[in-house]
Structure 1
Amino acid sequence: MQVFSLDHAAFVTFMRCATVLVGKMMAMSVATAANRFRTGTFATKEDAKMISGGDKEKAKKLLVPNDEVEQVRRAHLNDLENIIPFFIASLLYLAIEPDPHTASLLFKVFTGARVVHSIVYLARIPQPARVLSFAVGFGVTVYMLAKVAETLFF
């Protein structure tokens, strides 16, 4: 059976999880932009100039970092730092034809951990909740890479 096929259960699970994760990352982009407009906090001089109508003093105030915006932005950046490597590791892992049930479980665990991580991050739930959800997802990615390395190098 072809691994990268809709007939392969683990690949279908990967596609479902990838769809959720990409949608979540896109939602984080929208959340960052919405918080910027809500708080009147912008990242670039060009944006501040446009919003301020050319008023230089008002534009300066619009460039002051806002903690709420930065919280969402950091959560989004954390997604980018973890989800993209997960996608690459997942495709490599699928290519070594792992047990489909194990692969599906790993994909679901990672996806759940990243959703929990964003909720914990944005809701400002005290540590260790964020670091634990991060560690679970990171551990899944490391495990898959280790299995690929084991197959290729040992």
Structure 2
Amino acid sequence: MSEPLTVYALCVLVLFAKMLGISCYQGFFRLRHLAFTNLEDAGFFQRATSQQELPQVRRAARAWANDLENIPLFFVLGGLCVALGTASSASAWLFCTFTAARVMHTLLYLGARQPWRTLAYAVGVCCLLGLAGLVAGKAVAR
């Protein structure tokens, strides 16, 4: 297995674990407070349906939605970098930096930390642009 593929695979696993962690975070707060907006969930726990999600659940849902706008782009661009054989060190560096930025973005989002959350977001976007540049450069050179 090539180094970029190995690094890419590990980054995908970290991002998977991070997104799974957000789901567990939401579930933890729902169960801790027994607050459910879905009728069947509230009924299962013999509770009344909550009119609104808990603030922690809403914040985590927004972090999750932000992930869904960014992480699939990483999956595609990273996969293209591996498939096209872009520069190994640049690809691996961008994979790791993007992954670290997304983990930090989530932690900073859940902790309501500005301007650091925006900075982490911007670093991730710059990495996506870098990956796109690597893909474009390799595709044009072929």
What TM-score results when the alignment is normalised by the length of structure 2? 0.88
Change (3 A) 1:101 1:153: closer
SS at match of 1:52: coil
| C-alpha deviation, 1:153, in angstroms | 5.3
Gaps of 5+ in 2: none
CA distance in 2, matches of 1:36, 1:82: 26
Q: 1:152 aligns with which of 131, 139, 142?
A: 139
Would you say how many aligned residue pairs link Structure 1 and Structure 2? 141
**Is residue 2:110 matched to residue 1:116?**
no
Of 103-112 and 143-152, the range deviating more from structure 2: 143-152
Name the SS of the counterpart of 1:106 in structure 2. Answer: helix
| 1:48 equivalent in alignment to 2:48 | no
Please tell me whether Structure 1 or Structure 2 has the larger radius of gyration of its CA atoms.
1
The letter of the residue matching 1:32 is Q
Q: For structure 1, which runs of at least 5 residues remain unmatched after alignment?
A: 1-5
Instruction: Give the superposition deviation at 1:40.
Output: 2.7
Which residue in 2 is equivalent to 1:37?
A: 31
Partner of 2:45, secondary structure, is: helix
- The 1-side partners of 2:69 and 2:36 are apart by 23
Answer yes or no: is 1:84 the counterpart of 2:78: no
Question: Residues 91 and 41 from structure 1, CA distance in 2 versus in 1: closer, same or farther, beyond 3 angstroms?
Answer: same
Could you tell me which amino acid in structure 2 is paired with residue 29 of structure 1?
S
Partner of 1:93: 81
* Structure 1 counterpart of 2:94: 106
1:42 and 1:83 map into 2 onto residues whose CA distance is 28
Query: What corresponds to 2:120 in structure 1?
Result: 133
Contact 2:4 2:88 in 1 (8 A): yes
Identity percentage of aligned residues:
31
Partner SS, residue 93 of structure 2: helix
| RMSD of equivalent CA atoms | 1.8
Q: Work out whether residues 29 and 54 of structure 2, in 8 Å CA contact, stay in contact via their aligned partners in 1.
A: no
CA contact (8 A) 2:86 2:138 kept: no
- Could you tell me the TM-score, scaled by structure 1's length? 0.82
In structure 1, distance between residues paired with 2:29 and 2:98: 27
1:10-29 matches, within 5 Å, as 10-29=4-23
